[in-house]
């Protein structure tokens, strides 16, 4: 269907959570099409993602989304050389929708099927718009389900060095938004309200693990956000655990809470990330995942990085949140490394 030379095109399919997405990417970097059908409106009334609704919605959207990605890339399935699909981690019923379609396409067209880890793809997203190779680097993935720091030597040589003990940063934004009566997803709504508040007004805690007597501190301490979330809850309703959370209209300092909470999350991400990069002698930090859209995080991490001569790379917002371009991109690299799966490849809800 295309007449100009087009390199090797990979079709990427993503359905791990609440976005149905498909993309066509040339040679692992050139994004010819990236289509994302968000289910936010369907989940918003519940204040979070409802797995049953997500699975059904993916089922309705997946084929039209793939068709529109192919149309946008001005190509057909005949032009596609491999199918990349998210197989983990995520909601199992949602992952299986994308994987079933990918398997069927690979079988019908005799194409290689490439399984891709969603979190590793968030790291790869930040490299797709980089003019030069950012490797080796530290990589921070901050999303609704994950807050994880990696040491990345190449797209395929990536080692997890620390993660959260409890909530993910995005999840904390979503839960605090709920307490403040703000719409789902919480990140964009909390950060918008935070613009009207004072980030220093309320001293919310920043998690710092303290080793017990005789224990040594881990080289890369974990993140934690559940204490911060609880501190916001206590701030809103007082120390009486039996007291109800006040209705949003009764919270006089809502904007200050939003700003001070956001500042605490950002500080809890920035300091350990820069420290890990320095400790490992890495000159670049990549950031990915939905929370990487956050303007305050971008400002403070860029500043802290440049203060110590580290280069900091954020994808553009469309490639921070869930998308299939990152799946097709990393899928291409995996395909070239021979990491092709059989048609019996399974999905997994967990990272392992
Ligand atoms: O990467 P993503 O699209 O999906 C997952 O893999 O989880 O991330 C979604 C998360 C949500 O928790 C959302 O509240 C958060 O990213 N988020 C933000 C912002 N935009 C999205 N968090 C803080 N500030 C933002 N501007
Ligand atoms: Zn994600």
Residue in 179, 291, 322 to alter for ligand 1 test, most ligand atoms within 8 A of Cβ = 291
Cα 166 to Cα 226: distance, rounded to the nearest angstrom = 6
The boundaries of the domain holding residue 78 are: 9-124+321-336
One domain, residues 174 and 264: yes
Tens digits of per-residue pLDDT, 54-99? 999 999 999 999 999 999 999 999 999 999 999 999 999 999 999 9
Taking CA atoms only, the protein residue closest to ligand 1 atom 10 is 144
pLDDT of residue 214: 85
Distance 289 CA to ligand 2 centre (A): 5
Residue 336 scores a pLDDT above 90: yes
Please check whether residue 344 lies inside any domain of the structure.
Answer: no
How many beta carbons lie within 10 A of that of residue 310, not counting itself? 20
Q: Does the residue 288 lie in any domain?
A: yes
pLDDT value at residue 54: 94
Q: Give the mean pLDDT of 296-317.
A: 97
d(CA 32, CA 24): 5
Q: Give 342 Cα–ligand 1 centroid separation in angstroms.
A: 32
> Residues lining ligand 1, judged by CB closer than 6 Å?
17, 143-145, 170-171, 173-174, 185-188, 191, 289-291, 293-294, 321-322
Q: Are 192 and 254 in contact (CB under 8 A)?
A: no
**Rounded CA separation 274/39 (Å):** 34
Burial 14-23 (b: 16+ CB within 10 A, else e): bbbbbbbbbb
My answer on whether 166 and 310 are in the same domain is: yes
- Indicate if 147 and 73 belong to the same structural domain: no
Domain CATH for 23: 3.30.420.40
Q: Is 50 in the same domain as 141?
A: no
Q: Which of 185, 288, 326 to mutate to test the pocket of ligand 1 (most atoms within 8 A of CB)?
A: 185
Q: Are residues 203 and 156 in the same domain?
A: yes
Who wins on pLDDT, 155 or 243?
155
Quick count: other Cβ atoms within 10 Å of Cβ 280? 14
pLDDT tens profile 158-213 = 999 999 999 999 999 999 999 999 998 999 999 999 999 999 999 999 998 888 88
Over residues 245-278, the pLDDT tens digits come to 888 888 889 999 999 999 999 999 999 999 999 9
Instruction: Kindly report the average pLDDT of the chain as a whole number.
Output: 94
pLDDT at 5 over 70: no
- Domain membership flag for residue 341: no
Question: Per this entry, what is the length of the chain?
Answer: 352
**Cα(52) to centroid(ligand 1), Å:** 20
Residue 29 lies in a domain: yes
Stretch (H or E) spanning 88: strand 80-88
Number of domains in the chain: 2
Same structural domain, 44 and 115: yes
Nearest atom within ligand 1 for CA of residue 173: 14
Tens digit of each residue's pLDDT (9 = 90 or more) over 273-287: 999 999 999 999 999
Quote the pTM value.
Answer: 0.94
């Amino acid at each position: 269907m295309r007449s100009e030379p087009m390199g090797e095109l990979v079709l990427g399919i993503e359905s791990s959570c609440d976005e149905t997405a498909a993309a066509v990417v040339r040679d692992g970097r050139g994004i010819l099409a990236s289509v994302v059908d968000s289910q936010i409106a369907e989940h918003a009334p519940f204040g979070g993602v409802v797995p049953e609704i997500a699975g059904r919605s993916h089922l309705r959207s997946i084929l039209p989304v793939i068709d529109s990605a192919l149309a946008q890339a001005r190509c057909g399935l005949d032009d596609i050389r491999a199918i990349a699909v998210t197989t983990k981690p995520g909601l199992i019923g949602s992952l299986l929708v994308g994987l079933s379609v990918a398997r069927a396409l690979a079988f019908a067209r005799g194409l290689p099927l490439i399984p891709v880890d969603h979190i590793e793809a968030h790291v790869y997203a930040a490299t797709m718009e980089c003019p030069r190779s950012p490797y080796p680097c530290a990589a921070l993935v901050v999303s609704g389900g994950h807050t994880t720091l990696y040491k990345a030597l190449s797209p395929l040589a990536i080692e997890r060095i620390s993660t959260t003990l409890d909530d993910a940063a995005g999840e904390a934004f979503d839960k605090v938004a709920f307490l403040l009566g703000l719409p789902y997803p919480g990140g964009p709504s909390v950060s918008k309200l935070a613009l009207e508040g004072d980030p220093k007004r309320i001293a919310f805690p920043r998690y710092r693990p303290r080793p017990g007597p005789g224990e040594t501190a881990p080289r890369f301490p974990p993140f934690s956000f559940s204490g911060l979330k609880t501190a916001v809850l206590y701030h809103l309703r007082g120390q009486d655990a039996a007291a109800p959370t006040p209705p949003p209209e009764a919270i006089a300092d809502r904007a200050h809470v939003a700003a001070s909470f956001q500042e605490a999350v950002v500080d809890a991400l920035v300091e350990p990330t820069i420290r890990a990069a320095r400790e490992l002698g890495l000159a670049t930090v990549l950031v990915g995942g939905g929370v990487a859209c956050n303007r305050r995080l971008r400002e403070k991490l860029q500043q802290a990085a440049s203060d110590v001569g580290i280069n900091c790379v954020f994808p553009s917002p469309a490639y921070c949140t869930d998308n299939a371009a990152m799946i097709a991109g990393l899928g291409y690299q995996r395909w070239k490394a021979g990491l092709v799966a059989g048609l019996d490849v399974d999905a997994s809800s967990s990272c392992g």
